[in-house]
Structure 1
């Protein structure tokens, strides 16, 4: 059986789709003749934790830990809330940023290149170099963000010539928040150089969307494979919500604020007495202040059920019980290639998906491709209103269903098979 070392910053008890991506790859790789060994930080600073994911770590998996120095741990003494927000990639709009937050952003972008986990690179390379020889490991995988993890892979490749696959779950220098880091010209250039160094140094690259692949193909001629995120297990069995529940699962930050949705719902509840009684807007996860302000402005306060962060297990129950699942993205060119990890679990829940996002959005196109719901641009107000009215009529008649097609390809086992094929290095 081939051995592969997976180098990742995020691992249970960290929460989020990046954790689940590699947790599931590790689960299924042995079925395809690959023995995974996991390398993680010993004392990380995770902005979100989900202890329930600890129970999903496969038995017998070898996990090796290396201590990490994180500046975020020091800056949290100044402002724990702001530090947590910035380390999560959540950046307030400029006019709402405090002086401290602006300073922290400048430091984050210009002193910690490519990110604040850069101090993990040198000690990790030293530990892993010995480990590769002792364990007779065939290849390594680095997954980011944080993209400093890829610098570990690059250095190991340079020193030892080992086969290296770089998994970039998000774009690097083109991701939306990168422009908000107050970068100097010199710092911006350094980020681009490191991005090119990684993309041209790895033996193979995996990404989570076609648009990201096309973007990186302009920088490198290395082979790039799209392996999306996915879902695992069977659909959770639970009773449907008795109300007409529109649910958003995950962080709903201000930049993703679906103002057009609030406008439409405001109109519909004023026009339809039955909808006024039945409507429920369920927000599971962190909700930005701007979103709350918009909801209040449109007179929808009484319909909101703000749940907050829950375990992954509980998330699946909310998804399956909802009448409509909301998939929302920032309306910008930079987000066209972003496919939220929640989409694939929405597929498994088999509830209609209401997607609102930018033009040519890959996430929205997948919803339509698999006939799992409807995708709208933020300026498609009238069409959006008609669709919600149609769904509500179906709900009233007990006929609100989702007959999605072809989603089996996104099962974690099928995705792991693609990864294992890459690791054959043929």
Structure 2
């Protein structure tokens, strides 16, 4: 098996540890990024100047297609063709975003036709971004998504709500709809129940959020609710945020100098897993924005595997809410409802005191979401082609 990826990434969230865990039977081939992509990143993306940032977004939206890795895809296509011809590869599997990966897969299918089977995995949808008004997308990219659906032999998405959305967004025929299957990312087997038997119980209790918080993921009014909650249960609870947090949001939370609101900067992947398990409870945030109901954050699977209660401030309708209800792993507070903030504060109070707080996770259902079980589903789908 071969994995073709980029040699250099322009991201602060790269986990070097994951490179060391790659199965030795998998050859990872890193294709070098070439100008003007690297020049673009160095000149604009990492610039401290606001004007440069605006230029960066304009270039990303209007010039690069389907995303800002447009130069990388040329080299990736060339390398992929070499590997296919040399090793007589029959199956090409792409995962997006970045959507340039899907672009390479589409070009390979157009070039090789029935010689290969193309499996396209969507972890996000271009058409969703177009419909929600994101400035990073254009309708041209939405048409590109439809071409992918039409050309792929198999399409995988992370949740049933995405299938329903694609059907409505593109008015899919039954033959196209039958190509689409949902398979969740799941949690690693290392996080199965045995790893949480001897967890530390903290006092004050720690409610932890693990992952980045920025932009549209910030729920309006959440900062005020959190401050109020931290003040009310000052000696009983600690809120910890692990990962990159938007500066303005962080500044609001630190205004009152509360010692029980803490921040831990980005940590390696394995450390994030440990912190997820070690918490007394977990915080999940999904803003009530257009099409948020089809989002399935990868962190939710690690959350449910930790066997910790989840305080989920998320839309009550959608993939994330379905999983929490099915596994019985948390309490949902819909940010679109009027009294969600006060309900959240009261529920945290019950958790602190241990009174009237019910938590009875369904272990058998949780195990269904282990990545090994999910990957077996993908394997069976591939074998059925």
Q: 1:56 to 1:347 in 2, by over 3 A?
A: same
Question: Which range moved further: 220-229 or 281-290?
Answer: 220-229
Q: How far apart are 1:114 and its partner, in Å?
A: 0.9
What are the equivalent positions in structure 2 for 1:312-323 lying under 5 Å apart?
A: 312-323=269-280
5+ residue gaps in structure 1?
1-35, 84-96
Q: 1:260 to 1:393 in 2, by over 3 A?
A: farther
Aligned residues between the structures: 368
Provide Cα deviations, 1:194-244, integer angstroms capped at 9, x if missing partner. Answer: 111111111110011222211222324251111111111235344233322
Provide Cα deviations, 1:46-95, integer angstroms capped at 9, x if missing partner. Answer: 44211111221112322333323264532344355459xxxxxxxxxxxx
User: Aligned to 2:295, which of 313, 338, 344?
Assistant: 338
Q: 1:202 to 1:182 in 2, by over 3 A?
A: closer
Which residue of structure 2 lines up, in the alignment, with residue 204 of structure 1?
154
Q: How far apart are 1:259 and its partner, in Å?
A: 5.0
Greater RCO, CA 8 A, separation 6+: 1
| SS of match in other structure, 1:415 | helix
Does residue 353 of structure 2 align to residue 393 of structure 1?
yes
Q: 1:69 to 1:207 in 2, by over 3 A?
A: same
What are the equivalent positions in structure 2 for 1:233-272 lying under 5 Å apart?
A: 233=190, 234-235=192-193, 236-237=195-196, 238-258=199-219, 260-268=221-229, 271=232
| SS of match in other structure, 1:165 | strand
The CA distance in 1 between the partners of 2:367 and 2:106, in whole Å, is: 34
What TM-score, normalized by structure 2, do the two folds share?
A: 0.87
What TM-score, normalized by structure 1, do the two folds share?
A: 0.79
Q: 1:305 to 1:400 in 2, by over 3 A?
A: farther
| SS of match in other structure, 1:126 | helix
The CA distance in 2 between the partners of 1:282 and 1:177, in whole Å, is: 34
Q: 1:72 to 1:252 in 2, by over 3 A?
A: farther
Which residue of structure 2 lines up, in the alignment, with residue 290 of structure 1?
248
Is 1:176–1:335's contact at 8 Å kept on the other side of the alignment?
no
Q: How far apart are 1:266 and its partner, in Å?
A: 4.0
Provide Cα deviations, 1:169-208, integer angstroms capped at 9, x if missing partner. Answer: 111131389734366xxxx232122111111111110011
Does residue 344 of structure 2 align to residue 384 of structure 1?
yes
Q: 1:279 to 1:41 in 2, by over 3 A?
A: same
Q: 1:292 to 1:47 in 2, by over 3 A?
A: closer
5+ residue gaps in structure 2?
none
Is 1:37–1:61's contact at 8 Å kept on the other side of the alignment?
yes
The CA distance in 1 between the partners of 2:360 and 2:220, in whole Å, is: 25
Which residue of structure 2 lines up, in the alignment, with residue 100 of structure 1?
52
Which residue of structure 2 lines up, in the alignment, with residue 415 of structure 1?
374
Q: 1:60 to 1:336 in 2, by over 3 A?
A: same
Q: How far apart are 1:255 and its partner, in Å?
A: 2.9
| SS of match in other structure, 1:391 | helix
The CA distance in 1 between the partners of 2:110 and 2:350, in whole Å, is: 59
Provide Cα deviations, 1:7-33, integer angstroms capped at 9, x if missing partner. Answer: xxxxxxxxxxxxxxxxxxxxxxxxxxx
The CA distance in 1 between the partners of 2:216 and 2:252, in whole Å, is: 12
Q: How far apart are 1:157 and its partner, in Å?
A: 1.1
Which residue of structure 1 lines up, in the alignment, with residue 180 of structure 2?
224
